[in-house]
Structure formats: structure tokens, C-alpha cells
Amino acid sequence: MDIEEASLLEKIESDIKESKQQSGIWDKVIKPIRKTVSIVELVEEQSYEPIEADAFFELAESIAIEEPLEELLLQLD
């Protein structure tokens, strides 16, 4: 994750916090596990490593899915 992505996610997080302060329902529905956590901490904890595009498309090709996309999407319901 580069700096621009991290700062964008922090901005989104800030907007969500501001929005939830305006709506008291958030505290009634969401119960956080921790008091605070940053995007950087989450990325580090998850040991996220992006996949190269070539490797992704090679893997997708090797799966050889034959069903039409529409049929696969219907299975998500």
C-alpha cells in the first residue's frame, strides 16, 4: 500500500467517524473489538502481499471455469 492509498483510507475513516458521531445508531449496532486500530496496523497484521497481474490471470486461466458469468453470479444469491 502506498502513501496515497493510506491517506485516502484515513480520510474515509475520518469521514465515517464524523458520520457516526452524527448518528447514535452506530454505537447501538457496532461493538468494536479494540478502542483504536489504523489501516497501517491492519495491513501489517494481515501480512498482505499483492498478487502480480500475470500470476492472477494465469491462475484464473488454469481454473478453466466453463459456466457463463450470469449463471455464476446467480449462485451468489
3 phi and psi angles, rounded to 5 deg: -60, -40
* Lowest mean pLDDT, pick from 21-30, 31-40, 42-51: 21-30
In this predicted model, what pLDDT tens digit does every residue of 36-52 receive, in sequence order?
Answer: 888 888 888 998 888 99
Q: Which residue has the cell 465515517?
A: 16
What are the domain boundaries of the chain?
3-74
47 phi and psi angles, rounded to 5 deg: 50, 45
Report yes or no: 6 and 39 within 8 Å, Cβ to Cβ.
yes
What whole-number percentage of the chain has pLDDT above 90?
Answer: 21
Whole-angstrom distance, CA of residue 9 vs CA of residue 13 = 6
